[in-house]
Structure 1
């Protein structure tokens, strides 16, 4: 990565700029601000010479290494230091705070710092803001931190801090905001936390805290946010929360609170968000849910059962309401549909009965409606089409009946539609084809009939379309999605046709055809319904099925006669001559060169062409190693005792002519590399083609990643070796002009030493033309590895397709997850998952948990970034495989010669 062109120290003539500030009298640099400037490398020691600096801001770069221990001591005037969102590693040096002098704002957030928080930080008496969040800091919170006289904002969230939260909050504290969330803190919340009377925000969420809420909190009348969610706090929700009149956001979720929700919370007139979900609260839904200017309320996952009268006029501010997973029963109050501003409504997993209110169509801002897993019945109201902003409609696991209303096609923003496990009948309305944003559709386990509307082929974003366990029939719509739809989405529809199921639709039989033997015109043009017995001419009545049966029977008889004659001649020929064919009872002949008409076996280099196991080994299921896009692979043994793997191609009708086949196979046989499977020979007839490879006992990478136990999973070093080995193998293929086309984990084999070897390379060239449909449906059989340019006919297929597949493979190796995972109501694409995790700073959550923290993040992070670059949607943005190898080798053996200076 290129470094930013900076000069240390900057020349005086360029002192004044948007990046630098300086003293007009002396010309010395007083401020340096380079946010998101693509800086990399270690912090330059030249910074220590800028002793007039008052402000230093280098956030959102790629700076690495440790924090300079003497940074604050060397910059005595420094008041603000921001090194957040970089890659700074190693423990925070104790010396950093030894002479903190005038520092007022210090942020080292979102780095990779480890170790303890130095106790010396409590000597920084001028410190106003300290942010060490989102690192790997461990150990206890230093005692005396609350006593810093000027400290107003403290953020230690997102670390691994342990022990108890220290007490000693002084009444003279200047603290306004404290965030200790997402750590490993245990014990009780300090009883004197309420002494910090100026607190506006207090977050202890997602720790291991126990006990209850200390009563001193009631004195925090100016507190706007109280967050204790995701702990193990217990007891009743105290009524004195109502005395915290300034509260705007309250998070008590994910604890063990019990009892009723106190009505006194209604005194918090400024409350806009309340989350009491996932506790053990009982009783009625409190009236203040609809009586305050609340925007978001969640009481999901409790034991609430009662329902109060809804004062609609007071609930116009409500934007999100989550009542899921409680014990609510009875009908859904129709008044709830009058909440004009409601955007999210979740009432799932309760015991609601009756019909869905028709007024739901008037909720024009509603984006998510979830009433699944209740006891609702009646029809899906046609008025649902009025909720034009709906993105998710989930009504599964109820007892809805009737047809799916065609008006649902008016919900043009719909992304997810779940009507599964109901009693719906009739056909799927063609208007569903208007919902071009649809990604997930689940209509399974109903009684739907008819055919799938052809308009479904207009849905470009479909990822799940589950219509299993219905009464559907007819052909699938013609689209790329339906060409590759998983069989589980179609199962238990006896009349549904699919080329993937190797069946075809039974045409609707027309009325019987009447043939008039006395007519001189075309009998088909005279076809009429069966005539009454009073007609003068005798008519022969035959159905189309009868005609087909007669014709088919005649064809079968003729075929049997021809086969019998041919068999008799073949036996006569065999009795007169020696067996010279390459495919005899032993399946392969003992001669390397045979007559072209009967077959040809060619072995490259040394090795006997004879097989000790004979032909039965190729046909015996016990010897089958696996199946792929090109065919099945079997293990057998040469006469000299050397095992080989034989691929029996199943795309015979697509294979080129004999000469072209031999030419391409001989080209592939010249590939010799330690990370590429060696092609040993081939066998050819017009109806059977075999490829003979070295046998590798280590199995394929897919099994090691997805089918092994935790004890036998691949280590970090083994995974790194596999990644760099595959990269080297692909580089060698590309240097010889060979594109793999089908790279995936099942085509990476391991030898006895665990060394990876790329297999199944270059086989697409055996086809008469590089048809993209064939490549996607026959060869690229593992969804998720295929580069996006396969879907675009105007983009040339190049080696960059392999680079894309390699990038997916890298992410698969490091995360242990499949490229595409089908969940119950969603599809997870690995590239998107990792990219989001990287952007949100939670990359460690994606790495394979079987690695148990043994991986070095300084290696894992650049490799994951490399995988994401390789999976760029634009081919020209992907590196060449040669560049990939260089990057990987640099990660494994970093250049120690890089200086600390930024040049």
Structure 2
């Protein structure tokens, strides 16, 4: 070992004094020396560099090394994706002939060195997808005149882009995306006239794009997505005539689009979504003949969709969602023969559906949340390619078109929240690839066709809030992939077919508010993945199934089924009484009377009379005694209740609220989304009395009350009134939140508005918060591992759904995750920041992110960048909290303990079991817990780009889940 150390230090000495080294040993290869010194700064956990041997005369056969055959020197060093960690050491400076350096997708850390570009032969450097941090040194770009390609993407670099970036005069591609770079765009960047590709997306860059970009006449691709850039786009952007791709989405650009863009005849992708552009979509957009993808979503465009858009015959993807567009869909779009995906959702479009919509061969048709009306006509439908049809939340009428059944490729059909009438056609059973079928919130009548069993790929069937009648068809048991079944709020009758128990993938069932009857099939207790089963407000009877989910079902899921019995509803099931026994009075034994099946008729009659009179006297006496006890008990309870209960308050009407000291003098506006009575059965006491308070958060206090129809609700009284948008903006945002429906989100059911008082009306969740279950419940009432895993998965799905709609939660924590009667997680307080006119730092830190420990490190930066990755960080902390049962931050007498650090150390030291919640008593599968903990730590990475997307998190959790056949007792 000492020989190896001496040799290493000898090599290092030679490296530090290269001239003396060459003089002392001319046989020593400089490249071998440099690579060995470079390797010494690395950790190689998978031994990928085991072939690197300092005794070799040449490194040309080493892994990842390529040499120039003429010079016999290292020309390329490619070590991508080898799980290497450590720092990029100075050993590389020995590789004087190095042209290509690629170290991407590793875990390299530390800062950048200005010495790297002393290697004059370097043409390509790729250090992307690592953990490099710190600022880019001012002298980093001074000696890069020969460099052609540079990527530092997906690291944790911060600070400003050095002004001398323009020194890289030969640079053809520059990628600094997904870092934490801030400040203005340096003017020197426009002098890179050899640049073909510039990607600065996913940073904190701010300010305007100054004029001068036209100098970059070779530019083909420009991406500034996901920054904080603002102002108008420079007019000379259209002078970069070779531009093929422009992505400026997720910034704060405003104003009209510069007319010079119409000169970009070679541009195939224009992404301007998620900004504040206004005005009409310009008619000249049709001049950009090469456009294949156009994204103008989430802006403030108004007016009609220009007919010239039909001139974009190369167009494949069009996204105009979430604007204020009016008018009808232009007929000229029938000329867009290559169109595949269209999204016009969340606008103010009106009129009928155009004839071209279903004949062009589109894959994805999304026109939800508009004002379109009339029947859904599908003339000349191209049935070979359509995957998604979403026409929800419009005013369509008429029946479900029969042509839908001919679209064999269809996977997603959502016609919910319209005025569609008639019956459900049996031909829908021919949709063999359909995965989601949502016909809820319409006026459908008749029976659910038995042919629904033919939809063998169906995962979600949602038919709630219609007027359907009849029984659940037994053929539904053929839908083997079904995960979610919602038939609530109909007029369905009959029993639940027993073969529903064949649906082993079933997770969520809602049959509430119907007229079902009969006994629940016992086989339902064998469903392995069931998470919720709501049969409230029906006529079911008998005992519940036993086993699995039904052992812990909450009473709220069974409410208003007067004939259901068992311990869960605290109602005894009627016993099966044995036949009466007749005693023989002539038995010879006085102590042990014999059973006499054959008494004479006269003796039998005499005995029956005697027994009947005795029985009547005994029963009458017992009844009088029991009645007296019940009467006294009721009187006592009445006295106790009347002495402790406050007087019943008057109903809470709009007038009452307007006269309240906390409201405006004008009458308020109360709106309910779900058709409940728009009045409360309780009065101001429900809002102002602490007894009804459920909790307080960054946005305000939450109270419980009842609607007049007996429906319980939770009311959030906003305490940020001075920051809330105008009534028009407030109502628009609240209505968007009201349309967000997911099994793991707390539904927003309505709102109340006055200028000084705003109330949000949510569904009431009876099971309490996750915080209470983790930190305030007794050992006897703890969450099992399976329940914790389901909570983690359900929360992940809700965040994935929100992020897919472009909504960031901002305030994820255990007190904002509620558990319903079946233990299903329901995430609340989502999207409330959209009610504010601006994301003020004080509001973000003091109001929204009020609980320390869940806040992503980006919030501490001087220039806050809020993305979905902030939610991912909070989710990671929540995962660790659920697994360990410990709070994110714990304050000791003289120390502060951060949960992420504790778990990370335990994992490194192979002590995972030690950090698990002690209430689990060792009952958890290590093959699930370890990956879940690792996932939580990955989500809490300090570098936002290293955190996965929530959709990826859901996929990982689904893969992690163990087979449900193993019980928790077997895991102990």
Cα separation, 1, equivalents of 2:577 and 2:899: 68
Shift of 1:307: 3.1
User: How far is 1:169 from its partner?
Assistant: 3.7
Q: Deviations over 1:604-651 (max 9, x none)?
A: xxxxxxxxxxxxxxxx999xxxxxxxxxxxxxxxxxxxxxxxxxxxxx
- 8 Å Cα contact 1:192-1:216 kept in structure 2: no
Matched, 1:821 2:818: yes
CA distance in 2, matches of 1:889, 1:514: 70
Distance 1:470 1:554, change over 3 A: closer
Residue 732 of structure 1 corresponds to which residue in structure 2?
none
2:223 alignment partner in structure 1: 155
Check if 1:37 corresponds to 2:103: no
Matches within 5 A, 1:158-169: 158-169=226-237
Q: Tell me if 1:88 matches 2:163.
A: no
TM-score, normalised by the number of residues in structure 2: 0.59
Aligned to 2:663: none
Candidates 505, 513, 519, aligned match of 2:572: 505
Matching of residues 772-791 of structure 1 within 5 Å? 774=780, 776=782, 784=788
Q: Is the 8 A contact 1:86 1:111 kept in 2?
A: yes
* Partner residue in 2 for 1:333: 401
Q: Show structure 1 runs of 5+ residues with no match.
A: 561-619, 623-700, 713-742, 749-757, 765-773, 789-811, 834-843, 892-903
Equivalence map 1:457-496=2 (5 Å): 457-496=525-564
Provide closer, same or farther for how the CA distance between residues 310 and 825 of structure 1 changes in structure 2, counting only shifts above 3 A. Answer: farther
1:851 is matched with: 849
Report if the CA contact (8 A) 2:375-2:399 is conserved: no
The separation in 2 between residues aligned to 1:40 and 1:154, in whole angstroms, is: 28
Contact 1:202 1:226 in 2 (8 A): yes
Q: Check whether the contact 1:319–1:342 (CA below 8 A) recurs between aligned residues.
A: yes
State the partner residue of 2:442.
Answer: 374
In structure 2, what is the Cα distance between the partners aligned to 1:369 and 1:163?
43
The residue aligned with 2:370 is: 302
2:490 to 403, 422, 431: 422
User: What CA distance in whole angstroms lies between the structure 2 residues aligned with 1:10 and 1:100?
Assistant: 36
Q: Structure 1's 377 and 863: CA in aligned 2 closer, same or farther, altered over 3 A?
A: closer
Residue 121 (structure 2) pairs with residue 52 (structure 1):
yes
Q: Which moved more, 1:234-243 or 1:349-358?
A: 234-243
- The 1:401/1:852 distance shift into structure 2, 3 A limit, reads same
State yes or no: 1:867 paired with 2:896.
Answer: no
Asked whether the equivalents of residues 131 and 156 of structure 2 are also in contact (C-alpha less than 8 Å), the reply is: yes
8 Å contact from structure 1 (residues 21, 30) kept in 2: no
Decide whether the 8 Å contact of 2:220 with 2:243 is kept in 1: yes
- SS across alignment from 1:241: helix
From 287, 290, 301, give the equivalent of 1:233.
301
Q: Distance in 2 between matches of 1:813 and 1:184?
A: 19
> Superposition pairs for residues 249-648 of structure 1, below 5 Å?
249-307=317-375, 309-311=377-379, 314-497=382-565, 499-501=567-569, 503-507=570-574, 513=580, 515=582, 517=584, 539=608, 553=622
Matches within 5 A, 1:124-273: 124-170=192-238, 173-273=241-341
Please state how far the C-alpha of 1:496 moved relative to its aligned partner: 2.8
Counterpart contact for 2:318–2:343, Cα < 8 Å: yes
Q: Does the 8 Å CA contact 2:217/2:239 hold for their aligned counterparts?
A: no
**1:622-771 to 2 correspondence within 5 Å?**
745-746=771-772
Question: Does structure 2 retain, via aligned residues, the 8 Å contact 1:255–1:279?
Answer: yes
Q: Which runs of 5 or more residues in structure 2 are unaligned?
A: 1-39, 75-94, 630-643, 647-693, 702-716, 721-768, 793-808, 831-840, 861-869, 905-972
Higher mean alpha-carbon deviation, 447-456 vs 322-331, is at: 447-456
1-structure distance, mates of 2:227, 2:827 = 26
Change (3 A) 1:360 1:37: same
Asked if structure 1 preserves the Cα contact closer than 8 Å seen for 2:414 and 2:437, the reply is yes
Cα distance in structure 2, aligned partners of 1:241 and 1:826: 50
Once residues 350 and 375 of structure 1 are traced to their aligned partners in structure 2, the CA distance between those partners, rounded to angstroms, is: 8
Q: Deviations over 1:351-407 (max 9, x none)?
A: 111100101111000111111000001011111111010111110000001111121
CA contact (8 A) 2:410 2:434 kept: yes
Point out which structure has higher relative CO (alpha carbons under 8 A, 6+ apart): 1
Q: Distance in 1 between matches of 2:901 and 2:146?
A: 42
Quick one: structure 1 residues 481 and 856, their matched pair in 2 at CA, closer, same or farther if it must change by over 3 Å?
A: closer
Q: Indicate the larger mover: 224-233 or 459-468.
A: 459-468
What's the counterpart of residue 657 of structure 1?
Answer: none
What do the CA deviations read for 1:700-729 (whole angstroms, capped 9, x no partner)? x986789769989xxxxxxxxxxxxxxxxx
Distance, in Å, in 2 between the alignment partners of 1:20 and 1:333 is 63
Structure 2 vs 1, CA of residues 483 and 433 (structure 1 numbering), >3 Å: closer, same or farther? same
The alignment partner of 2:202 has SS state of coil
Could you report, residue by residue, the CA deviation over 1:295-342 in whole angstroms, capped at 9, with x for unpaired residues? 111121222223364235633211111111111111112221111111
Q: Structure 1 residues 548, 158: closer, same or farther in 2, change over 3 A?
A: farther
Q: What displacement does 1:853 show? A: 13
In the alignment, is the contact (CA less than 8 A) between 2:698 and 2:848 conserved in 1?
A: no
C-alpha offsets along residues 6-54 of structure 1, whole Å, 9 cap, x if unaligned?
A: 89x9999446666455545243322222222122333355534444322
Alpha-carbon distance, 1:266 to partner: 0.7
1:167, distance to aligned residue in structure 2 (A): 1.6
CA RMSD of aligned residues (A): 5.1
26-35 vs 399-408, which moves further: 26-35
- 1:442 and 1:847 map into 2 onto residues whose CA distance is 39
Relative to structure 1, the CA distance from residue 513 to residue 278 in structure 2 (aligned partners, 3 Å threshold; closer, same or farther) is same
- The DSSP-based 3-state class of the residue aligned with 1:402 is coil
Is the 8 Å Cα contact of residues 812 and 874 (structure 2) preserved in structure 1? no
Alpha-carbon contact 1:280-1:302 (below 8 Å) kept: yes
Q: Which moved more, 1:396-405 or 1:547-556?
A: 547-556
What SS does the corresponding residue of 1:194 show, helix, strand or coil? helix
Give the Å deviation of 1:849.
6.2
Q: Deviations over 1:91-138 (max 9, x none)?
A: 33323x131221111112222222222222111111111111122222
How has the CA–CA distance of structure 1 residues 479 and 548 changed in structure 2, closer, same or farther, with 3 Å as cutoff? Answer: farther
Aligned counterpart for 1:104 among listed residues 144, 168, 172: 172
Displacement after TM superposition at 1:161 (Å)? 1.3
TM-score w.r.t. length of structure 1: 0.64
